[in-house]
Amino acid sequence: MSAIHEYYHTCKKYINKRVRIMTISGASYEGRIVKVDRNRIYLQRASNNRNKATVSFFPFILPLVLFDLLAIVLLDRPFRRRFC
């Protein structure tokens, strides 16, 4: 199975979830996955300032190319680590 095929199925599993996506080039994007097609992920960016209310009729959606992905991290679940 190719990496793009694997990324596609991983992204489909996390539609409507808040994620952080890191690319091979080192860029990091946070938001909610809105749509996934065979080549791109459409990520609705989260607001940087949660204290300020904003109204937007056109939510900013960022298309990311699947073959440029390195990692997808879920943001809804707290990270818990066990120490031995």
Q: What is the pLDDT of residues 20-61, one digit of tens each?
A: 988 888 888 898 999 998 888 899 986 655 544 444 444 567
- Measured CA to CA, the distance from residue 84 to residue 74 in angstroms comes to 24
Q: Domain containing 18: what range?
A: 1-46
Q: Has residue 62 got a pLDDT over 70?
A: yes
Any domain includes 76? no
At residue 84, the pLDDT reads 44
Average pLDDT of the chain to the nearest whole number = 76
Look at 6-10, 53-57, 67-71, 74-78 and tell me which has the smallest mean pLDDT. 53-57
CB 11 within 8 A of CB 33: yes
Any domain includes 6? yes
Any domain includes 53? no
Any domain includes 10? yes
Any domain includes 61? no
The residue among 55 and 73 whose pLDDT is bigger is: 73
- Measured CA to CA, the distance from residue 78 to residue 18 in angstroms comes to 12
Residues contacting residue 28 through CB under 8 Å, at least 6 positions apart: 20, 21, 22
Q: Whole-structure pTM over 0.95, yes or no?
A: no
Which element (helix H / strand E) includes 7? helix 3-13
Any domain includes 52? no
Number of structural domains in the chain: 1
Any domain includes 62? no
